[in-house]
Each structure stands twice: as C-alpha cells, then as structure tokens.
Amino acid sequence: MDPQFRWLDVRTEYREARPSKHGEELRWIVTRETILNTATGDTVTRGTIRHPGICVIVPLLDEDRILLMHQYRYAADERLWELPAGTLEGRLQGDRVVGAETPVACAARELQEETGYKAGKLEHLFTLFPSPGILDEKMHIFIATDLTPSKQKLDDDEEITIKPFTFKELRVQLKANNIKDGKTIAALSYMMVFKPYLGA
C-alpha cells in the first residue's frame, strides 16, 4: 500500500458469487471506499471492484496457430472471439478479494475446461491491470505449448466453440477490428512482437 493514502472507511455494496463445478465461487465484491491523502489532507470516495484476478492463456497449437474461442458475452451483448481465460478462485482477505489458488493452476484448469486441451508447458508472459481506475483485477497472461487433446468441461451457461487461427489470419482479424476483446488484443499484440524471442 502507498503510505501517502489511508483508507478511512470501506463498505461492501455488492458481492458476486456464482455456482460452478467447484462449488460456490466468490467472483468479486463492489465496495465504496473513502480514502485520505495524507499529503494534502483531502479525502475522496470511490466505488471499486475488488477482484481476485484472472488468467489468460495463449494456446499455441503449433508454430503458426493459436486457438481462439467464440462465445456470447452478456454485458457486451455480442459473440466475441477471445483467448481462453478464467477467474482465480477467490477468498475475502479484509476488504479485498485475493486469489485462493496460484495463477498457473488457474491457467491449467481453465485451458482444459474451455478448449479441451491440456498444456505440457505453461509460461508466464506478463501481467497487466485492464482498468485500474475502477478495479484492482490483475490479468496474468500465459502461453501454453505442447498441447494434447482432452475434453471440454464447460459450465452449464457456457457455449463455446474453438477455432485455430494462423498468425497471418490473426493480423487480418485484428486490423479489421473483428477481435474486440481487450485481453485478447493485448496478448495477441504481445505475441506478434515478441514471438521470435520467446524461449530464447
């Protein structure tokens, strides 16, 4: 925590928990927080989403193909092309929600559940804050290689289809704005720049 800022009051306004194959999962909480800036004496009140984080997986089927998923997203009201991803199992720690599992464990589980593939190797690429003005969610980006077919284990409300894309096809889709999911754009853009150096 930055010593310049002190939390004076935190109230949980909403708690999102969902049933899943793993039991009830705490997904995030929405808080109203009053914070003192000790350097100026000013206070601010913010609504914040406290989140355990997610893992995003770049499944490299072979040297030139990446698997993407196509699924309907309720908030966007669109079917989107995305990389597989999933929320870390969460638990309350004070006024925050923290991960109750490691990012790599989450990445391995979500890859198999959503794509039906197991990874022989998972490598962490980078971590980002997708929207730090309103939430503390961290996205942990992994590349998955040495894939072997398994079986999808979708939640009851998930309808996901999988399709491999070559890097050339992905560039075309990105340029045409046919891929609109932010985490997918970030991870694919990283791959386009750094793929020649991965594993070097």
For the chain, the structural domain boundaries read: 52-197
Residue 39: name the closest of 8, 7, 4 by CA: 4
> How would you write the pLDDT of the chain (200 residues) with one tens digit per residue?
799 999 999 999 999 988 776 677 889 999 999 999 999 999 999 999 999 999 999 999 998 999 999 999 989 999 999 999 999 999 999 999 999 999 999 999 999 999 999 999 999 999 999 999 999 999 999 999 999 998 877 666 678 899 999 999 999 999 999 999 999 999 999 998 887 655 44
User: What is the CATH superfamily name and number for domain 52-197?
Assistant: Nucleoside Triphosphate Pyrophosphohydrolase (3.90.79.10)
Phi, psi of 190 (to 5 degrees): -60, -45
Tokens of 105: 């464990």
Indicate the pTM of the whole model.
0.90
Quick one: pLDDT at residue 198?
Answer: 55
Tokens of 60: 């490299």
Give the whole-angstrom CA distance, residue 188 versus residue 176: 14
Residue 22: name the closest of 83, 92, 90 by CA: 90
29 residue type, one letter: I
Quick one: pLDDT at residue 62?
Answer: 92
Element (H, E) at 191: helix 182-194
Task: Please tell me the number of Cα atoms within 13 Å of 150 on its side-chain side.
Answer: 19
Tokens of 10: 């935190």
Residue 32: name the closest of 14, 17, 48, 8 by CA: 48
Tokens of 144: 């998955």
Quick one: pLDDT at residue 14?
Answer: 94
